[in-house]
Structure 1
Amino acid sequence: MTKKIAVINDLSGFGRCSLTAAISVIAAMGVQPCPLPTAVLSAQTGYPSYFCDDYTDKMENFRQEWEKMDAQFDGIYTGFVASEHQIENIFTFLKTFQRKNTFLLVDPVMGDNGNVYAMFTDRLLSLMKELVWKADAITPNLTELCLLTDTDYRMIQNMTDERNLLTIVEQMARNVIKKGPDTVVVTGIHFLDGEDGVEKMGNLAVSGKQVSLSAFPYVGGSYSGTGDLFASVIAAGIARGDKITESIRLAGGFIERAIVDSVKENIPRNDGVNYEQFLGMLMKNTNQ
């Protein structure tokens, strides 16, 4: 039977992010995505102008209707939330649908490059921490990991030494694990490789006594939606029984190919990466 993941995120017409990214990636990996939109936008918020229809109140309608259907999910995956109320709605959703064998993956979208997004408040951070502590796996970037651990981002902002940076990031991840999650996958770690002197972008997975780094040469460019693509691969990988380390390598290679192509084609940052032609990379081992 096909695995199902409830995906709680916004839907943007342009930007190749959020539900647009999640639906295509999760489906390509042989898992059924069941989207619950938190908002519908004409384009993601990086564009200079966009229309946004807030779905905060409609989230409860989805929950009620799915409860009537006796819907069951193998996983629940949460991404961007626009307000504290939306996180409260997610807590209600979890009480209804999270069973013993239902994993929860939280992508704690709150900021990047040391800056928080417009919707950020201290109350939202408090609720996000509460949601993260309930998760089985989380996929924060460095900014979000700092927020979750009350760490000053400036402490690591200018660190380029690979060993020191990764040691600090691992310890921060372990501090989060003490609160609840089994696995913390820290995304978008930019560092200088101590062995070959090459600039790299890596993702560090920390769980139990295991630590795994998957890194690729840094090709430049920062694009909308790469975090959503990454988290979606991890979520679908968990659902189909892949090891986290395998999913991280798969996601990293997939996104690297998409970024390289996008840089070559001079794709604007807000448009997201040219990932569609590489979805075939995700289709291996989908027979359950």
Structure 2
Amino acid sequence: MKKVAVIQDMSSFGKCSLTAAIPVLSVMGVQAVPLPTAILTSQTEYPSYYCEDLTLKMHHFVDEWSKLGASFDGIHTGFVTGKEQIENIFLFLHTFYKEGTTLLVDPVMGDRGEMYDVFSNELIGYMKELVKHADIITPNVTECCLLTGQSYDKLQTYQTNEDYLAAIEEAGRQLQSTTNAKVIITGLNPPAISKTRYVGNMYIEESRSFHSLQEYNGKSYSGTGDLFASVIMGGMMRAQDVAETMELAEKFLSAAIEATVKERVISQDGVNFETFLGMLL
């Protein structure tokens, strides 16, 4: 069985990070091996939460797993609390990233044009260094802008889907050429020029690119990016074509979001994806 080290926080409420990655990878036939970067009572979009930062504990995982002679087919990084944790990830990569290992970096830094409050601008420079080591990167539109210097505000001024998508692809190609990684930009949301809005994703590699758009229902939930990235990692471990895996992730999330909307779940609680895990088999 393939093993993936998942370096993310563990939030008890919010259905994100490790509580999203572990069930997705498991149902896709992959052993998820968690390395928690922090323990939170709930994810950070709740009005109140407690966070226990595990920066000073991360080296114990490297030490103890080294004693076990552990090896990993994949390494999946997500939410980190700051530059010290990225430095710890570099130590982890030095020990466990070998030929044939797939590194997926989900550069969690912000959304909707804003950096998350818990981060400083210093993190961007460290994240730029981390993504240079990745085999695949899954930023949302905001994170792609932070990594490339593209103006998020300018993206909102385009009057056609074609112009918006061309600007996103330009930024994605810049990120791809800088890192030589495959890039999937999530959360495409062209500005409304009619009553119908769309949401989607774009894939970029050196030799090809493609995107998908579907009607947007106006709802946004915690953890959907984590679920998407986890499906992508599971697909890579199954040697699936990226286009096939993207389509699977989109169908899985669409079904989960539709059910969650019907149940009137608040956005912080995340999507009720558990019922739909069978779609990933």
What's the offset of the Cα at 1:51? 1.7
Residues 8 and 36 of structure 2 are in contact (CA less than 8 Å); yes or no, is this contact kept in structure 1? yes
1:119 partnered with 2:97: no
Match of 1:276 among 274, 277, 281: 274
Provide the rounded CA distance (Å) in 1 between the counterparts of 2:115 and 2:45. Answer: 14
**Paired position in structure 2 for 1:180:** 179
What is the Cα-based RMSD across aligned positions, in Å? Answer: 1.5
Q: Deviations over 1:149-203 (max 9, x none)?
A: 0122111024352111111111111111111232110001013799x98422110
In 1: Cα distance, 2:95 partner to 2:118 partner:
26
Q: Which residue of 253, 256, 263 corresponds with 1:255? A: 253
| SS of the residue 1:13 aligns to | strand
Q: What's the TM-score once normalised by structure 1's chain length?
A: 0.94
Match of 1:221 among 214, 219, 243: 219
**1:34 corresponds to 2:33:** yes
User: Which letter maps to 2:256?
Assistant: A
SS of 2:72 mapped into structure 1: coil
| Distance change >3 Å, CA 250–CA 160, structure 1 → 2 | farther
| Amino acid aligned to 1:165 | Y
Contact preservation (8 Å) 2:177, 2:206: no
Residue type at the aligned position of 2:229 = A
Secondary structure, counterpart of 1:140 in structure 2: coil
Q: How does 1:201-220 map to 2 (within 5 A)?
A: 201-220=199-218
Matches within 5 A, 1:152-191: 152-191=151-190
Who is 1:135 aligned against?
A: 134
Instruction: Name the stretch that deviates more: 175-184 or 106-115.
Output: 175-184
> Number of matched residues?
281
The Cα of 1:38 is off from its aligned counterpart by: 0.2
Gaps of 5+ in 2: none
In structure 2, the partner of 1:82 is 81
Structure 2 residue 252 is the aligned partner of structure 1 residue 238: no
CA distance in 1, matches of 2:76, 2:217: 29
Deviates most, 269-278 or 120-129 = 120-129
User: 1:199 is matched by which residue type in structure 2?
Assistant: R
User: What amino acid is the match of 1:262?
Assistant: T
CA distance in 2, matches of 1:128, 1:134: 10
Inter-partner Cα distance in structure 1 for 2:213 and 2:231 = 16
Equivalent residue, structure 2, for 1:25: 24
Structure 1 runs of 4+ aligned residues shifted over 3 Å read: none
**C-alpha spacing 1:193/1:237, structure 2 compared with 1 (3 Å):** farther
| Counterpart residue identity of residue 101, structure 1 | G
| Deviation readout 1:46-81 (Å, 9 max, x if unpaired) | 111112111111111011111111111011000000
State the AA in 2 paired with 1:27: S
Cα separation, 1, equivalents of 2:154 and 2:72:
40
Hey, what's the Cα distance between the residues in 2 that align with 1:3 and 1:241?
11
- Output one character per residue of 1:199-255: Cα deviation in whole Å (capped at 9) or x when no partner: 221100001121121222212211000000000001111111011111111111111
Identical columns (%)? 49
Ranges in structure 1 where 5+ consecutive residues have no aligned partner: 284-288
- Partners in 1 of 2:35 and 2:214 — Cα distance? 33
C-alpha offsets along residues 5-53 of structure 1, whole Å, 9 cap, x if unaligned?
0000000111000000000111111111000000011111111111211
Q: How does the TM-score come out when normalised to structure 2?
A: 0.96
1:40 match: secondary structure:
strand
Which AA in structure 1 matches 2:223? G
Paired amino acid for 2:211? L
On the 8 A contact 1:204/1:211 being kept in 2, the answer is: yes
